[in-house]
Chains A and B, each alone.
Chain A
Amino acid sequence: MTKHTATLFIQCLVDSLKPEIGDAMVHVLDTLGVSMVYPENQTCCGQPAFNSGYRREATKAARRFIDIFENHNAIVCPSGSCVHMVRHHYLDLFRDEPAMLARARKVAANTYEFTEYLVDVLGVTDPGSQLNSRFDGSVTYHDSCHLSRGLGIRSQPRLLLENIPGLSLIEMDESDRCCGFGGTFSVKYPEISTAMVDDKIQTILATGADAVAGCDVSCLMNIEGRLSRIDSPVRALHIAEILANTGK
């Protein structure tokens, strides 16, 4: 087997709020024999500023990101929306700057979402034997908007979840309906956002699953925050935590 090297692009929310997801990702990649590089000066890809319209600030963050990551292959991130930012919006930000656009294209082509990297690049199909993953319980899967619609990543996380021994995957109704996070949307219009997350919670609870899994910590944080507030025992887990057996 070829020796793979992955460059870790750790979303700022994972870095500061949920480092255990980064730990789980490191564990999974290490188990698969992937060597890892972590550019220590990374901060944020610029998505919060971009989505709020602050393109000058987003462009600065994007430039910085490209400076840091452009000479790396297989940049792997545990967040669909950040990958979407790099893969799609960077091209928009630099649409009038040919030199930067070329650099952005190169970085975009090398950036992968975590499950996409596992399945499409490393060919992981059986986490039970390849990673010793095991989960005793039922899980429902939330399709994050930028991951599913933006990047078209729907099958990879499901393939992984379905093949974890002990885990039964129960699909929720409208798994790709937005959970209402939307970055600063949930800060600016918290009441609407809460109503939307309640719709999401309703479909999660209707499955009777023990946990909801996702590939985007921002959505999970929103869902978990509401589950916690209503004292629900249902847990919100990043797929890396399930794969690494740390999401028990």
Chain B
Amino acid sequence: MHEQSDKSYRELANEALGDERLHSAIRMIQDRIGKGTRHLWKTEISQELRDKAKKARMRTLDNLDKVLTTLTEKIRANGGHVYFAKTAEDARNYCLKVAQKNEVKRVVKGKSMTSAEIGVDHLLEAHDIEVVETDLGEFIIQLAHDAPSHIIAPCIHMDKQQIGRLFEKELGIPYSEDPPTLTKAARKALREKLLSADMGISGCNLACAETGHISLVSNEGNIRMSTTMPKVHVALMGMERVIATLAEHDMLLRLLTRGAAAQKISTYVSFLGGPRQPGEPDGPEEFHLVIIDNGRMKMLADPRFREVLSCIRCGSCLNICPVYGRIGGHAYNAPYPGPIGAVVMPLFNGVNKHADLCRGESLCGACKDICPVNNDLPRMLSELRHMLAYGDEQWDVAPVDKGEALAFKGWYAAMSSRTAYNLLVKTGRLAQAPFVSDGMLKKGIGPLGKWTADRDFPPIARQTFGERWKTVHAPRLKGDSNE
């Protein structure tokens, strides 16, 4: 479920900046998990393994049609159905069709980003099918009519007091802020739903072509119940989520849980991929795998962005990003937040629409450093900014800021010769004079206006280094040449 906000990135970010509780909650995740993952990369997981994993991912992407065909054949041989959805609409309509055919009244969901991406909940609900999130965090978010703010910790932005009040109101229990009490209340509410649901919807962390199974990792075990208790199980997967071989699957699963939560393995790992077989005590009667394109083919076809499909959605980039650390997930206003969201959301939904996500990162490279499969997100952000600067036909992008484009033309005019540069410096020196106090610019002019709202800026020096070279250094440094 993802509730969109009408506010801009800047507005949402600024709201989050004032939220000290949010800041400290995210800091806690970043301090514990982000640092933990970094530690694992330095100790037990080598860079070689991560390079190898990346190569395996890229090799699979290069042969995606064949690998998906193998996956499909295996799933079908096991009695499962496979549907290729070109668009989000195709995917959600298929889910609805399966639900209606089976006269489904209640759907329970395992945690799935993809379901938020395609917006399946709203469609089902519009057809009087109750949809219940079973991941504890997602369940809380759903009760609160809120949106997730982290890939693996969806309600990190809420505290136990807020959750206590929410449960009091929505679940009718006496107010409590005791986590075990709250967890038990959620468990009771969820068990009732799980036991009476007709259909389970899950995502797919990894799919393995060689064996024809999908894997789901969780720490609460609710995914197990959502996918085995109802009579129908529909798994949603982005088409890139497939892994060719079981050996590669093993390698990527290890990276996934370490990247996500610095865990060697999650509490539960479910291997699924077909209906209940004769003699089996549990499992669904029908299994459907929906393999979703929704713009991924276009990313695959563009050498600038193909790499992003190697992402295994562990969320480690969120656990390190200093921008995410300050603004939280809601500011991204998208199913995928953080650095990975800043790259994929523009590609999914329009670069112009998400221009702020492309531009609102400091390109510090921490996300690239921590990514288990070395995704070069800063490079891709830079490509997206390039599109926004001049427009891009292939991705239907219009130039975003005429003023800025003009400013950079002017900038180059000033940098194109030392004479022009010197003129700019001299002009700046004269212009800054009224604004300098205590050796600093306290209130900026032009583009520095906002910068200097909270920071001082050093004024232009009386002499540039170039001038000092001529007047001081070159004459003193005898024998040195001067060009």
By a beta-carbon cutoff of 8 Å, the part of chain A in contact with chain B is 8, 10, 12, 14-20, 22-23, 26, 30, 35-44, 46, 48-57, 60-61, 64, 92, 145-146, 149-150, 176-178, 180-183, 185-197, 199, 221-222, 224-226, 228-229
Contacts and interface: CB of A to CB of B under 8 A. Distances in A.
A53 B477 contact: no
Contacts of A43: 414-418, 421
B293 to A, nearest CB: 28
A189 B455 contact: no
8 contacts: A12-B415, A16-B461, A26-B477, A40-B466, A40-B470, A57-B411, A145-B365, A149-B366
A17 B480 contact: no
B481 interface: yes
Given A149-B369, A226-B455, A53 B388 contact: yes
A17 B408 contact: no
A89 to B, nearest CB: 8
Contacts of A35: 477, 479-481
B459 interface: yes
A53 B387 contact: yes
B17 interface: yes
Contact of A40 (B418, B460, B477): B418
B13 A192 contact: yes
Given A51-B382, A52-B389, A53-B389, A18 B323 contact: no
Interface of B: 10, 13-14, 17, 322-323, 325-327, 359-366, 368-369, 379, 382, 384-390, 404-405, 408-409, 411-412, 414-418, 421, 425, 428, 440, 447-448, 450-461, 463-470, 472-474, 477, 479-483
Given A23-B465, A55-B386, A224-B456, 17 more contacts: A17-B461, A38-B482, A49-B408, A50-B382, A53-B386, A61-B412, A145-B366, A185-B362, A189-B359, A189-B360, A191-B10, A194-B455, A199-B326, A221-B457, A225-B440, A225-B452, A228-B455
A17 B459 contact: yes
A224 B451 CA distance: 13
Contacts of A149: 364-366, 368-369
B401 to A, nearest CB: 9
A221 B451 CA distance: 12
Chain A facing B: main interface SS: helix
A233 to B, nearest CB: 14
A196 B464 contact: no
Contacts of B458: 17-18, 221, 224-225
Nearest to A44: B415
Nearest to A221: B458
Given A41-B417, A49-B408, A182 B389 contact: no
Contacts of A178: 322, 362, 364, 366
A49 B448 CA distance: 17
Contact of A37 (B414, B421, B481): B481
A51 B456 CA distance: 23
Contacts of A56: 390
Of B17, B451, B453, most buried by chain A (CB within 10 Å of CB) is: B451
Nearest to A26: B473
Nearest to B356: A189
Contacts of A44: 415, 421
A61 B415 contact: yes
Contacts of B13: 189, 191-192
B156 to A, nearest CB: 17
Contacts of A51: 363, 382, 385
Which 9 A/B pairs are nearest by Cβ-Cβ distance?
A53-B385, A182-B362, A178-B364, A225-B455, A22-B465, A53-B389, A145-B364, A19-B465, A190-B450
A44 B450 CA distance: 24
A16 B464 contact: yes
A226 B474 CA distance: 35
Nearest to B17: A195
Nearest to B331: A192
A7 B369 CA distance: 32
B331 to A, nearest CB: 9
Contacts of B365: 145-146, 149-150
A190 to B, nearest CB: 4
A188 B450 CA distance: 8
A14 B465 contact: yes
A40 B483 contact: yes
A99 B334 CA distance: 43
